[in-house]
Amino acid sequence: MKCAMYYNNRDIRLEEIPVPEIGPDELLVQMHACGLCGSDVLEWYRAKKAPLVLGHEMTGEIVTAGENVKRYSVGDRVFVSHHVPCNTCHYCLNGHHTVCDTLRTTNFDPGGFAEFIRVPGINVDRGVFLLPDEMSYEEGTFIEPLACVLRGQRAANLRPSQTVLVIGGGIAGLLHLKLAQALGASSVVVVDIHEKRLAFAQGCGAKATFLAHDFRPEHLREVNNGRLADLAIVSTGAVDAIHMTWKCVDRGGTVLVFAPPEPGIDLALPLYDIWHDGITITTAYGGSPVDISQAIELIRSKTVVVNDMITHRFPLARASEGFALVEKAQDSIKVIIQP
Protein backbone atom coordinates (compact mmCIF):
# COMPACT_ATOMS: atom_id res chain seq x y z
CA MET A 1 0.00 0.00 0.00
CA LYS A 2 1.01 3.63 -0.41
CA CYS A 3 1.85 5.92 2.48
CA ALA A 4 3.32 9.37 3.06
CA MET A 5 6.51 8.66 4.99
CA TYR A 6 7.71 11.55 7.13
CA TYR A 7 11.44 12.25 7.41
CA ASN A 8 11.18 15.96 8.17
CA ASN A 9 8.89 18.83 7.19
CA ARG A 10 10.56 19.19 3.80
CA ASP A 11 11.02 15.48 3.14
CA ILE A 12 7.76 13.55 2.94
CA ARG A 13 8.02 10.65 0.52
CA LEU A 14 5.36 8.53 -1.17
CA GLU A 15 6.47 5.01 -0.30
CA GLU A 16 5.18 1.45 -0.60
CA ILE A 17 4.87 -0.57 2.59
CA PRO A 18 3.01 -3.84 3.31
CA VAL A 19 -0.66 -3.76 4.21
CA PRO A 20 -0.75 -4.55 7.95
CA GLU A 21 -1.97 -8.00 8.95
CA ILE A 22 -4.63 -7.98 11.63
CA GLY A 23 -5.25 -10.30 14.56
CA PRO A 24 -8.55 -11.75 15.79
CA ASP A 25 -9.37 -8.69 17.94
CA GLU A 26 -8.36 -6.09 15.36
CA LEU A 27 -9.70 -4.14 12.40
CA LEU A 28 -8.28 -3.11 9.05
CA VAL A 29 -9.61 0.30 8.01
CA GLN A 30 -9.23 1.90 4.59
CA MET A 31 -8.45 5.58 4.96
CA HIS A 32 -10.84 7.97 3.21
CA ALA A 33 -9.69 11.26 4.76
CA CYS A 34 -7.08 12.36 7.30
CA GLY A 35 -6.58 15.88 8.57
CA LEU A 36 -3.16 17.48 8.83
CA CYS A 37 -2.71 18.76 12.38
CA GLY A 38 -0.48 21.63 13.39
CA SER A 39 1.33 19.19 15.67
CA ASP A 40 2.31 17.14 12.59
CA VAL A 41 4.72 19.93 11.58
CA LEU A 42 6.28 20.47 15.01
CA GLU A 43 9.66 19.34 13.79
CA TRP A 44 11.28 19.45 17.25
CA TYR A 45 8.74 16.80 18.28
CA ARG A 46 8.36 14.72 15.11
CA ALA A 47 11.76 14.59 13.41
CA LYS A 48 13.48 12.70 16.23
CA LYS A 49 11.04 9.80 15.67
CA ALA A 50 11.44 9.74 11.87
CA PRO A 51 10.97 7.99 9.57
CA LEU A 52 7.32 7.36 10.41
CA VAL A 53 3.81 7.68 9.04
CA LEU A 54 1.96 10.51 10.75
CA GLY A 55 -1.75 11.32 10.73
CA HIS A 56 -4.16 10.97 13.66
CA GLU A 57 -7.33 12.74 12.44
CA MET A 58 -8.42 9.75 10.38
CA THR A 59 -11.75 8.49 9.08
CA GLY A 60 -12.34 5.50 6.88
CA GLU A 61 -14.21 2.30 6.11
CA ILE A 62 -13.73 -1.07 7.77
CA VAL A 63 -12.56 -3.55 5.13
CA THR A 64 -11.60 -6.51 7.36
CA ALA A 65 -12.69 -7.44 10.88
CA GLY A 66 -11.02 -9.99 13.13
CA GLU A 67 -13.04 -13.05 14.08
CA ASN A 68 -13.50 -11.85 17.68
CA VAL A 69 -14.79 -8.41 16.72
CA LYS A 70 -18.56 -8.28 17.24
CA ARG A 71 -19.41 -4.58 17.55
CA TYR A 72 -18.27 -3.54 14.08
CA SER A 73 -18.76 -4.90 10.57
CA VAL A 74 -17.12 -4.66 7.20
CA GLY A 75 -18.45 -1.55 5.48
CA ASP A 76 -18.92 0.52 8.64
CA ARG A 77 -17.82 4.15 8.33
CA VAL A 78 -15.68 5.05 11.34
CA PHE A 79 -13.50 7.54 13.10
CA VAL A 80 -10.57 5.86 14.86
CA SER A 81 -8.89 7.40 17.89
CA HIS A 82 -5.14 6.88 17.83
CA HIS A 83 -4.66 7.21 21.61
CA VAL A 84 -6.93 5.45 24.10
CA PRO A 85 -6.87 5.39 27.93
CA CYS A 86 -6.92 2.35 30.20
CA ASN A 87 -9.96 3.69 32.14
CA THR A 88 -8.78 1.97 35.33
CA CYS A 89 -5.62 3.76 36.55
CA HIS A 90 -5.46 6.50 39.19
CA TYR A 91 -5.50 9.22 36.53
CA CYS A 92 -8.44 7.85 34.56
CA LEU A 93 -10.50 7.27 37.71
CA ASN A 94 -9.94 10.93 38.60
CA GLY A 95 -10.98 12.20 35.18
CA HIS A 96 -7.46 12.81 33.85
CA HIS A 97 -7.65 10.33 30.96
CA THR A 98 -5.22 12.22 28.75
CA VAL A 99 -2.28 11.79 31.15
CA CYS A 100 -2.86 8.02 31.40
CA ASP A 101 0.24 5.95 30.59
CA THR A 102 -1.82 3.73 28.28
CA LEU A 103 -3.14 6.71 26.32
CA ARG A 104 0.42 7.97 25.85
CA THR A 105 1.67 4.66 24.47
CA THR A 106 -1.20 3.45 22.27
CA ASN A 107 -1.56 4.14 18.55
CA PHE A 108 -2.82 2.62 15.34
CA ASP A 109 -0.53 1.14 12.71
CA PRO A 110 1.12 2.75 10.78
CA GLY A 111 -0.58 6.19 10.79
CA GLY A 112 -3.44 8.01 9.12
CA PHE A 113 -1.42 9.08 6.06
CA ALA A 114 -1.56 5.57 4.63
CA GLU A 115 -4.10 3.71 2.50
CA PHE A 116 -4.89 1.23 5.29
CA ILE A 117 -4.43 1.16 9.05
CA ARG A 118 -4.48 -1.68 11.54
CA VAL A 119 -6.54 -0.90 14.63
CA PRO A 120 -5.19 -2.77 17.70
CA GLY A 121 -7.62 -4.56 19.97
CA ILE A 122 -7.50 -1.95 22.73
CA ASN A 123 -8.34 0.78 20.21
CA VAL A 124 -11.17 -1.36 18.81
CA ASP A 125 -12.51 -1.70 22.35
CA ARG A 126 -12.61 2.01 23.20
CA GLY A 127 -11.39 4.08 20.26
CA VAL A 128 -13.60 3.27 17.27
CA PHE A 129 -16.67 5.44 16.69
CA LEU A 130 -19.30 5.01 13.98
CA LEU A 131 -19.74 8.08 11.82
CA PRO A 132 -23.34 9.32 11.79
CA ASP A 133 -25.06 9.08 8.41
CA GLU A 134 -25.21 12.88 8.28
CA MET A 135 -21.43 13.24 8.66
CA SER A 136 -18.99 13.02 5.77
CA TYR A 137 -15.53 11.50 6.04
CA GLU A 138 -14.05 14.98 5.76
CA GLU A 139 -16.21 16.35 8.57
CA GLY A 140 -15.10 13.39 10.66
CA THR A 141 -11.48 14.53 10.48
CA PHE A 142 -12.47 17.39 12.82
CA ILE A 143 -13.63 15.02 15.57
CA GLU A 144 -10.24 14.66 17.25
CA PRO A 145 -9.24 18.35 17.23
CA LEU A 146 -12.71 19.43 18.37
CA ALA A 147 -12.56 16.88 21.21
CA CYS A 148 -9.28 18.46 22.36
CA VAL A 149 -10.80 21.94 22.22
CA LEU A 150 -13.90 20.76 24.07
CA ARG A 151 -11.77 19.29 26.84
CA GLY A 152 -9.85 22.54 27.10
CA GLN A 153 -12.93 24.73 27.44
CA ARG A 154 -14.37 22.35 30.01
CA ALA A 155 -11.13 22.58 32.00
CA ALA A 156 -11.36 26.37 31.77
CA ASN A 157 -14.97 26.24 33.00
CA LEU A 158 -16.30 28.39 30.16
CA ARG A 159 -19.72 29.71 31.10
CA PRO A 160 -22.44 31.46 29.05
CA SER A 161 -22.12 35.23 28.74
CA GLN A 162 -18.36 35.22 29.32
CA THR A 163 -16.02 37.11 27.02
CA VAL A 164 -13.26 35.05 25.41
CA LEU A 165 -9.92 36.07 23.93
CA VAL A 166 -8.25 33.58 21.58
CA ILE A 167 -4.57 34.25 20.86
CA GLY A 168 -3.61 32.21 17.81
CA GLY A 169 -6.07 31.89 14.95
CA GLY A 170 -4.99 28.58 13.44
CA ILE A 171 -7.32 25.62 13.19
CA ALA A 172 -7.35 25.05 16.97
CA GLY A 173 -7.93 28.72 17.71
CA LEU A 174 -10.76 28.90 15.20
CA LEU A 175 -12.36 25.79 16.68
CA HIS A 176 -12.11 27.51 20.08
CA LEU A 177 -13.93 30.48 18.53
CA LYS A 178 -16.70 28.33 17.11
CA LEU A 179 -17.13 26.19 20.21
CA ALA A 180 -17.14 29.16 22.59
CA GLN A 181 -19.90 30.73 20.52
CA ALA A 182 -21.85 27.48 20.54
CA LEU A 183 -21.50 27.25 24.32
CA GLY A 184 -22.92 30.72 24.82
CA ALA A 185 -19.93 33.07 25.11
CA SER A 186 -21.14 36.64 24.77
CA SER A 187 -18.26 37.61 22.50
CA VAL A 188 -14.97 36.24 21.19
CA VAL A 189 -11.94 38.28 20.17
CA VAL A 190 -9.19 36.68 18.05
CA VAL A 191 -5.54 37.70 17.70
CA ASP A 192 -3.19 36.27 15.08
CA ILE A 193 -0.19 37.21 12.97
CA HIS A 194 -1.94 36.59 9.61
CA GLU A 195 -4.71 38.73 8.13
CA LYS A 196 -6.27 35.82 6.23
CA ARG A 197 -6.94 33.94 9.44
CA LEU A 198 -8.37 37.05 11.04
CA ALA A 199 -10.65 37.55 8.05
CA PHE A 200 -11.91 33.99 8.47
CA ALA A 201 -12.47 34.59 12.19
CA GLN A 202 -14.50 37.69 11.34
CA GLY A 203 -16.60 35.61 8.96
CA CYS A 204 -17.25 33.17 11.80
CA GLY A 205 -18.61 35.91 14.02
CA ALA A 206 -15.64 37.11 16.07
CA LYS A 207 -16.56 40.38 17.74
CA ALA A 208 -13.15 41.84 16.89
CA THR A 209 -9.84 40.72 15.46
CA PHE A 210 -6.35 42.15 15.86
CA LEU A 211 -2.97 41.60 14.25
CA ALA A 212 -0.63 40.36 16.94
CA HIS A 213 2.12 42.93 16.42
CA ASP A 214 -0.42 45.75 16.91
CA PHE A 215 -2.39 44.24 19.76
CA ARG A 216 -2.43 45.69 23.27
CA PRO A 217 -4.70 44.94 26.25
CA GLU A 218 -6.23 48.40 25.79
CA HIS A 219 -7.64 47.25 22.45
CA LEU A 220 -9.52 44.50 24.24
CA ARG A 221 -11.00 46.98 26.71
CA GLU A 222 -12.16 49.16 23.83
CA VAL A 223 -14.34 46.39 22.37
CA ASN A 224 -15.34 44.81 25.70
CA ASN A 225 -16.99 47.60 27.67
CA GLY A 226 -13.78 48.56 29.41
CA ARG A 227 -13.02 45.03 30.64
CA LEU A 228 -10.44 42.39 29.86
CA ALA A 229 -11.36 38.79 28.98
CA ASP A 230 -13.06 36.35 31.34
CA LEU A 231 -11.22 33.56 29.54
CA ALA A 232 -7.99 33.97 27.58
CA ILE A 233 -6.96 30.97 25.44
CA VAL A 234 -3.35 30.61 24.31
CA SER A 235 -3.55 28.65 21.06
CA THR A 236 0.03 29.21 19.94
CA GLY A 237 3.36 28.21 21.39
CA ALA A 238 4.89 31.62 20.71
CA VAL A 239 6.48 32.90 23.93
CA ASP A 240 5.53 36.53 23.25
CA ALA A 241 1.89 35.48 22.89
CA ILE A 242 1.96 33.66 26.21
CA HIS A 243 3.45 36.69 27.96
CA MET A 244 0.76 38.90 26.43
CA THR A 245 -1.98 36.60 27.71
CA TRP A 246 -1.27 37.33 31.38
CA LYS A 247 -2.02 40.99 30.68
CA CYS A 248 -5.34 40.31 28.95
CA VAL A 249 -7.36 38.37 31.51
CA ASP A 250 -9.72 40.11 33.91
CA ARG A 251 -9.88 39.72 37.67
CA GLY A 252 -11.35 36.34 38.55
CA GLY A 253 -10.68 35.13 35.01
CA THR A 254 -8.96 32.09 33.58
CA VAL A 255 -6.03 31.47 31.25
CA LEU A 256 -6.16 28.24 29.24
CA VAL A 257 -2.72 27.25 27.94
CA PHE A 258 -3.81 25.10 25.01
CA ALA A 259 -0.61 25.13 22.93
CA PRO A 260 2.78 24.70 24.61
CA PRO A 261 6.14 26.25 23.86
CA GLU A 262 9.03 23.91 23.04
CA PRO A 263 10.36 21.75 25.87
CA GLY A 264 13.03 23.43 27.93
CA ILE A 265 11.54 26.91 27.61
CA ASP A 266 10.78 28.27 31.08
CA LEU A 267 8.56 31.32 31.45
CA ALA A 268 8.53 33.94 34.18
CA LEU A 269 5.07 34.47 35.66
CA PRO A 270 3.77 37.70 37.18
CA LEU A 271 2.74 35.55 40.12
CA TYR A 272 1.82 38.39 42.45
CA ASP A 273 -0.58 39.87 39.90
CA ILE A 274 -2.05 36.44 39.15
CA TRP A 275 -2.56 35.82 42.87
CA HIS A 276 -3.84 39.30 43.64
CA ASP A 277 -6.38 39.26 40.80
CA GLY A 278 -7.60 35.74 41.46
CA ILE A 279 -6.59 34.42 38.04
CA THR A 280 -6.69 30.69 37.34
CA ILE A 281 -4.22 29.06 34.95
CA THR A 282 -5.13 25.69 33.47
CA THR A 283 -3.95 23.47 30.63
CA ALA A 284 -5.42 20.83 28.35
CA TYR A 285 -3.93 18.04 26.28
CA GLY A 286 -5.77 15.61 24.03
CA GLY A 287 -9.29 14.28 24.29
CA SER A 288 -10.90 11.35 26.10
CA PRO A 289 -13.52 8.96 24.66
CA VAL A 290 -16.23 11.08 26.28
CA ASP A 291 -14.87 14.22 24.65
CA ILE A 292 -14.82 12.42 21.30
CA SER A 293 -18.44 11.29 21.66
CA GLN A 294 -19.52 14.85 22.44
CA ALA A 295 -17.50 16.25 19.55
CA ILE A 296 -19.22 13.84 17.18
CA GLU A 297 -22.62 15.10 18.28
CA LEU A 298 -21.57 18.76 18.01
CA ILE A 299 -20.49 18.18 14.40
CA ARG A 300 -23.42 15.92 13.50
CA SER A 301 -25.96 18.45 14.76
CA LYS A 302 -24.13 21.32 13.01
CA THR A 303 -23.81 23.03 16.38
CA VAL A 304 -20.18 23.46 15.33
CA VAL A 305 -19.95 23.77 11.54
CA VAL A 306 -16.63 22.57 10.16
CA ASN A 307 -17.05 22.25 6.38
CA ASP A 308 -16.19 25.89 5.81
CA MET A 309 -12.77 25.39 7.41
CA ILE A 310 -11.44 23.03 4.74
CA THR A 311 -9.25 25.01 2.38
CA HIS A 312 -7.06 22.37 0.72
CA ARG A 313 -7.23 18.70 -0.25
CA PHE A 314 -4.27 16.63 -1.44
CA PRO A 315 -3.80 12.99 -2.39
CA LEU A 316 -1.15 10.97 -0.59
CA ALA A 317 1.20 11.53 -3.51
CA ARG A 318 1.12 15.28 -2.81
CA ALA A 319 1.13 15.14 0.97
CA SER A 320 4.39 17.12 1.02
CA GLU A 321 2.50 20.11 -0.39
CA GLY A 322 0.04 19.88 2.48
CA PHE A 323 2.85 19.78 5.04
CA ALA A 324 4.43 22.86 3.46
CA LEU A 325 1.16 24.78 3.66
CA VAL A 326 0.55 23.87 7.29
CA GLU A 327 4.13 24.69 8.29
CA LYS A 328 3.90 28.06 6.55
CA ALA A 329 0.64 28.71 8.43
CA GLN A 330 -0.54 31.50 6.16
CA ASP A 331 -2.64 30.35 3.24
CA SER A 332 -4.51 27.39 4.72
CA ILE A 333 -7.04 26.74 7.46
CA LYS A 334 -7.56 22.97 7.27
CA VAL A 335 -5.67 20.62 4.98
CA ILE A 336 -7.11 17.18 4.25
CA ILE A 337 -5.09 14.26 2.88
CA GLN A 338 -7.01 11.69 0.83
CA PRO A 339 -5.93 8.36 -0.72
Indicate whether 11 and 121 sit together in one domain: yes
Res. 262 pLDDT band, cuts 50 70 90:
confident
Q: How many CB atoms lie within 10 A of CB 159?
A: 11
Residue 260 has pLDDT above 90, yes or no: no
Domain boundaries, position 84: 2-146+287-338
**What's residue 211's pLDDT?**
96
Indicate whether 25 and 130 sit together in one domain: yes
Indicate whether 134 and 220 sit together in one domain: no
Res. 49 pLDDT band, cuts 50 70 90:
confident
**What's residue 117's pLDDT?**
98
Beta bridge partners of 187: 163
In this prediction, residues 300-324 reach a mean pLDDT of 96
**What's residue 91's pLDDT?**
98
Edge-to-edge strands, sheet with 208-211 = 208-211, 187-192, 163-167, 229-234, 249-257, 280-283
* The pTM of the whole model exceeds 0.85: yes
Query: What DSSP designation does 249 have?
Result: E
CATH code of residue 221: 3.40.50.720
